[in-house]
Amino acid sequence: MIDFSHSEILECVKRALAEDIGAGDVTSTACVPVERKARGAFLAREQQIVAGTELLPLIYAERGGVDDLRLLKLSGACAASGEAIATVCGRARTLLECERVALNFLQRLGGIATLARRYVDAVAGTGCKVLDTRKTTPGLRRLEKIAAAAGGVTNHRMGLYDAILIKNNHISAAGGVRQAVENARHAGLPIEIEVRTRVQLEEAIASGAMHLLLDNLTPEEAREQIRWIAGSAKVELSGGITLENVRTYAETGADFVSSGAITHSAPAVDISFRLDLD
């Protein structure tokens, strides 16, 4: 079960509603009688992996609640074109003022989950796991990583605080691969190190590194390096990995492949909200 109860998520919902509604929905207030009740349905307009329907109770609660809300598809479920993913009944004004914010979340998160599933399907049977990255929309990382997980991707570190990833600039600042690894051990956190040359790779292995990031290699170069590593460390491949070539990279023997495109370039899925009088 994916957890949507984190305080960051509630804050994100509040900000989104405040951004859109501001002092009030002047159109709905002017046009719709205050006592008018309505029902609405969120409809998938294309086949997709659903993500974010669990936000709907939070959205409506912030605007006074609704009479009935049914989540027909939870995050990770597949929805066919024309299928309802959620239905709601309540004050027409509430449904109207929450419509855009709800759709923005569902379309954005569903787009990430749908693209994530395509990556996962592309590497099926290889034994290689697909990872997401920190290349997320500022302020939406937790939600976007939830969406990636809903699509079947394995979440990489959440931020700079929960795992160590020593990259090229860290190596330069620390004074070399060996020094960087030795310094990092004192933190007591998982350590991964990026290596770009055979010399760095050999030094990382000699330093006891157990998780290596090989960046911007061709599949042939990656296969050669992985053959040399021979299982002495876990290997992640990154850089230039796309939906079109991800299987080729996965078949090199890597344990993981990562792609920033899953979160930074996912197209929104098509979802509509249809409202009728109750």
- Catalytic hit among 45, 100, 223, 234: 100
Two structure tokens written together for 149: 């997980």
- Catalytic hit among 45, 135, 178, 234: 135
Q: Judge whether 194 counts as a catalytic residue.
A: yes
Q: Judge whether 215 counts as a catalytic residue.
A: yes
End-to-end alpha carbon distance in the chain: 32
- Catalytic hit among 36, 45, 167, 196: 167
Torsion (CA) 187, 5, 261, 267 in degrees, nearest 10: -170
Residue 114 phi, psi dihedral angles, 5° rounding? -65, -45
Q: Phi-psi bin for 41: left (phi > 0), alpha (psi -120 to 50), beta? A: beta
Give, in degrees to the nearest 5, the angle at Cα 278 between 92 and 60: 40
- Catalytic hit among 202, 215, 224, 251: 215
Taking the C-alpha atoms of residue 13 and residue 55, their distance in angstroms, rounded to an integer, is 8
Q: Counting Cβ atoms within 10 Å, is residue 100 exposed (0-12), middle (13-18) or buried (19+)?
A: middle
- Cβ–Cβ < 8 Å for 18, 70: no
Helices (H), 151-218: 168-174, 177-185, 198-206
- Catalytic hit among 194, 203, 236, 255: 194
Q: Judge whether 167 counts as a catalytic residue.
A: yes
Q: Judge whether 135 counts as a catalytic residue.
A: yes
Catalytic residues: 100, 135, 167, 194, 215
